[in-house]
């Protein structure tokens, strides 16, 4: 069974704090995406990483793909209330058309 485990499952922090969300699997992925989902809406793509060891930065968000392409992390610097939401990682299993989604991290940033 292919699984993508995210941790932590829930996170409540104060505005201005830093946080890291982890996404781990025993499976190898061709690519890995991070999405954010608001209540009542579909997930919205934040970033795609493709190369093992790749690091991408989008303003206050830093995404890293593990060297073996089995894991990833999302780091948010100086969190803002607008960062509140459900963060999902999703991996495209190598050699397939199958996307596996993580269990999700529900982030709440308090003012």
Partner 1 sequence: DAGVTQSPTHLIKTRGQQVTLRCSPKSGHDTVSWYQQALGQGPQFIFQYYEEEERQRGNFPDRFSGHQFPNYSSELNVNALLLGDSALYLCASSFDSLSSTGELFFGEGSRLTVL
Residues that bind partner 1 (CB under 8 A): 4, 6, 30-31, 33, 35, 40-45, 48, 50, 88, 90, 92, 96-104
Closest to partner 1 by CB, 10 vs 14, is 10
Query: What are the backbone angles phi and psi of residue 51, rounded to the nearest 5°?
Result: -95, 135
> What is the C-alpha separation between 44 and 42, in angstroms, rounded?
6
Task: State the nearest-atom distance from the C-beta of 3 to partner 1, in Å.
Answer: 10
Q: Are strands 85-93 and 71-76 parallel, antiparallel or unpaired?
A: unpaired
Closest to partner 1 by CB, 54 vs 111, is 54
Task: State the nearest-atom distance from the C-beta of 68 to partner 1, in Å.
Answer: 18
Closest to partner 1 by CB, 42 vs 82, is 42
Q: Sort 40 into a burial class: Cβ within 10 Å, 0-12 / 13-18 / 19+.
A: exposed
Task: State the nearest-atom distance from the C-beta of 106 to partner 1, in Å.
Answer: 8
Helix H or strand E segment including 37 = strand 29-37
List helix spans (H) across 6-76: none
Task: State the nearest-atom distance from the C-beta of 93 to partner 1, in Å.
Answer: 9
Closest to partner 1 by CB, 3 vs 78, is 3
């Amino acid at each position: 069974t292919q699984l993508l485990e995210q941790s932590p499952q829930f996170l409540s922090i104060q505005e201005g704090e830093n946080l890291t969300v982890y996404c781990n699997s025993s499976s190898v992925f061709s690519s890995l995406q991070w999405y954010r989902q608001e209540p009542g809406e579909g997930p919205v793509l934040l970033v795609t990483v493709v190369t093992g060891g790749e690091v991408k930065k989008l303003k206050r968000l830093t995404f890293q793909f593990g060297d073996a392409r089995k894991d990833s992390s999302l780091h948010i610097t100086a969190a803002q209330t607008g960062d509140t939401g459900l963060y999902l990682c999703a991996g495209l299993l190598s050699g397939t058309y199958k996307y596996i989604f993580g269990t999700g991290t529900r982030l709440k940033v308090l003012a």
